[in-house]
């Protein structure tokens, strides 16, 4: 499938650097949302996820949005998709992964880059309710979850089309990048670890012995945290096992739905060497790799004071084209 971006991505003036794109986007994305309905969806294992939804017109598409590491349905990039869906008359559902809705989940296990069961349960819950197509979008960790879901379910996937932004296709390479030198990488790493460790402490209070708390407290890197917490909580031997099992890059050929893969070559958390180079073997994939954009950034426009969030617009444009092509002539 040939890339057909509405316009080439040009960074806003003064925001050409990857860190400027990444940080500025996280600070200035609008936070207003359409009216949302909170629904608690009970999962097969006795836990739950909280969903924030609204309905579209009869027969219109419904978009499921998956947030990134330690994000939520209130993340600016998720809200941009919800607003775009509402403007088109579509419905939408933003999933809060376990422990990300503001309330601790019931079980010791949580969420991770390859955990597809919760998202799949929600999609299979939504599918019978809809009279139009079901679309899905994912950002960063949520993009990894989405692609692994598409890969694992193949022709049985409940989603009709999907779009993934800033996917960590190779989790080992991405953890190495996050654990790399420099003040910006330290900033990103500490932000994630602060939130993850706080949740880890709460889990140990409720589930003593679920993992090694001292090893968690000693962790100063993403890989060390995954070794100490993520892997044992979710049945992996160690971080290497988790990364190998959960990376989406090696399995893109298995996707059976039209899917946009949107990434930036200068993403500070995702090495350019780990991005897909050639997806021509799977005509359902549309690969868009821009020189600039940072991590879940893609801030364009004539001025930083009037930003245009090109990435979300690109994803919505892709899904609109899939909707148009699916309608009878």
Same domain? 24 vs 132: yes
Q: What percent of the chain has pLDDT over 70?
A: 97
Nearest to 192 by CA among 81, 65, 74, 100: 100
Q: What is the pLDDT of residues 172-223, one digit of tens each?
A: 999 999 999 999 999 999 999 999 999 999 999 999 999 999 999 999 999 9
C-alpha to C-alpha distance for 144 and 151, rounded to whole angstroms: 10
Q: What is the pLDDT of residues 309-318, one digit of tens each?
A: 999 999 999 9
Range of the domain at 110: 18-170+256-323
C-alpha to C-alpha distance for 80 and 12, rounded to whole angstroms: 18
Token pair listed for 155: 């022709």
Q: Is 5 inside any structural domain? A: no
Number of H helices and E strands in the chain, helices first, is: 11, 10
Residue 200 CA from chain centroid, whole number: 21
Tally of domains within the chain: 2
Q: What mean pLDDT comes out for the span 43-54?
A: 96
Same domain? 232 vs 272: no
Q: Is 6 inside any structural domain? A: no
Q: Is 295 a catalytic residue?
A: yes
Same domain? 72 vs 120: yes
Which residue out of 73, 99, 113, 140 is catalytically annotated? 140
C-alpha to C-alpha distance for 300 and 306, rounded to whole angstroms: 9
Q: What is the pLDDT of residues 259-318, one digit of tens each?
A: 999 999 999 999 999 999 999 999 999 999 999 999 999 999 988 889 999 999 999 999
- With cut-offs at 50, 70 and 90, classify the pLDDT of residue 7: confident
Same domain? 127 vs 59: yes
Same domain? 200 vs 265: no
Q: Give the Å distances, CA to CA, from 158 to 48, 127, 277, 283.
A: 20, 7, 27, 19
Looking at residue 124, which CATH number applies to its domain? 3.40.50.1820
Which residue out of 50, 266, 267, 317 is catalytically annotated? 267
Same domain? 49 vs 146: yes
Select from 191, 226, 246 the last residue of a domain: 246
pTM of the model: 0.96
- The neighbour count for residue 30, using CB atoms within 10 Å, is 11
pLDDT of residue 6: 57
- With cut-offs at 50, 70 and 90, classify the pLDDT of residue 2: very low
**CB of 80 closer than 8 Å to CB of 137:** no
Q: Is 213 inside any structural domain? A: yes
Q: Is 11 inside any structural domain? A: no
C-alpha to C-alpha distance for 3 and 280, rounded to whole angstroms: 12
Alpha-helical segments (H) within the chain: 18-28, 76-87, 117-126, 141-153, 171-178, 183-206, 213-218, 222-225, 231-233, 239-246, 310-326
Q: What are phi and psi of 98, to 5 degrees?
A: -50, 130
């Amino acid at each position: 499938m040939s890339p057909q971006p509405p316009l080439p991505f040009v960074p806003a003036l003064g925001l050409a650097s990857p860190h400027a794109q990444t940080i500025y986007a996280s600070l200035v994305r609008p936070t207003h949302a359409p009216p949302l309905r909170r629904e608690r969806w009970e999962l097969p294992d006795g836990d739950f996820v909280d969903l924030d939804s609204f309905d579209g017109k009869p027969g219109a598409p419904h978009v499921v949005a998956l947030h990134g590491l330690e994000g939520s349905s209130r993340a600016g990039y998720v809200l941009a998709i919800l607003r775009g869906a509402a403007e088109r008359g579509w419905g939408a559902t933003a999933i809060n992964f376990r422990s990300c809705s503001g309330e601790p989940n019931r079980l010791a296990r949580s969420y991770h880059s390859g955990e597809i069961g919760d998202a799949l349960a929600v999609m299979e819950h939504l599918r019978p309710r809809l009279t139009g197509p079901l679309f899905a979008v994912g950002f960063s960790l949520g993009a990894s979850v989405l692609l692994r879901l598409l890969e694992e379910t193949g022709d049985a996937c409940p989603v009709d089309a999907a779009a993934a932004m800033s996917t960590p296709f190779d989790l080992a390479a991405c953890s190495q990048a996050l654990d790399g030198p420099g003040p910006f990488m330290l900033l990103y790493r500490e932000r994630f670890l602060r939130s993850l460790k706080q949740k880890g402490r709460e889990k140990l209070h409720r589930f003593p012995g679920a993992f090694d708390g001292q090893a968690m407290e000693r962790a100063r890197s993403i890989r060390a945290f995954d070794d100490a917490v993520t892997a044992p909580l979710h049945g992996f031997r160690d971080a290497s096992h988790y990364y190998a099992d959960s990376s989406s890059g090696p399995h893109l050929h298995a996707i059976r739905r039209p899917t946009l893969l949107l990434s930036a070559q200068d993403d500070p958390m995702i090495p350019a060497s780990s991005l897909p180079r050639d997806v021509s073997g799977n005509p359902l994939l549309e690969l868009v790799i821009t020189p600039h954009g940072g991590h879940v950034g893609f801030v364009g426009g004539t001025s930083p004071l009037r930003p245009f969030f090109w990435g979300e617009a690109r994803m919505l444009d892709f899904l609109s084209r899939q909707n148009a092509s699916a309608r009878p002539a």
